[in-house]
Amino acid sequence: MRTFILLLSFFSVTATAGESTIFLKDRPGKNQVIVKCAMCHSLDYITMHAMILDRAGWVKTVGKMINVMGAPIDNADKEIIIDYLAKNYGR
């Protein structure tokens, strides 16, 4: 029992530590999202909107970041990022 509790606290500590650095799902496209989307705001903006936005919503949001906010993201990266967000953080 004692070992079990120790193990449990070990896991909760590592989970919290991981979250503060890179907590996005480890799938293709993650690097582009980290590089391109974290320059102006925290990546929390993405996880906070997961399950609210569907693919069309992410297309619109990423478009807004580029056209309104001026995010320097080229078309190739845009497609990769939208795909990543829709698959992993889509409704």
**How far apart are alpha carbons 74 and 18 in whole angstroms?**
29
Among 71, 80, 86, 90, binds ligand HEC (CB under 6 A): 71
**How far are the Cα atoms of 15, 32, 42, 59, 72 from residue 54, in angstroms, in the given order?**
27, 19, 20, 9, 23
Contact 85, 46 (CB under 8 A): yes
Task: In angstroms, give the least distance from the CB of 44 to ligand HEC.
Answer: 9
Among 8-16, 22-30, 43-51, the segment contacting ligand HEC (CB under 6 A):
43-51
Is residue 40 a contact point for ligand HEC (CB under 6 A)?
yes
Among 21, 70, 75, 76, binds ligand HEC (CB under 6 A): 70
Residue 58 in tokens: 């992410």
Residues of this chain that bind ligand HEC (CB under 6 A): 36-37, 39-41, 45-46, 49, 61-62, 64-65, 69-71, 73, 81, 85
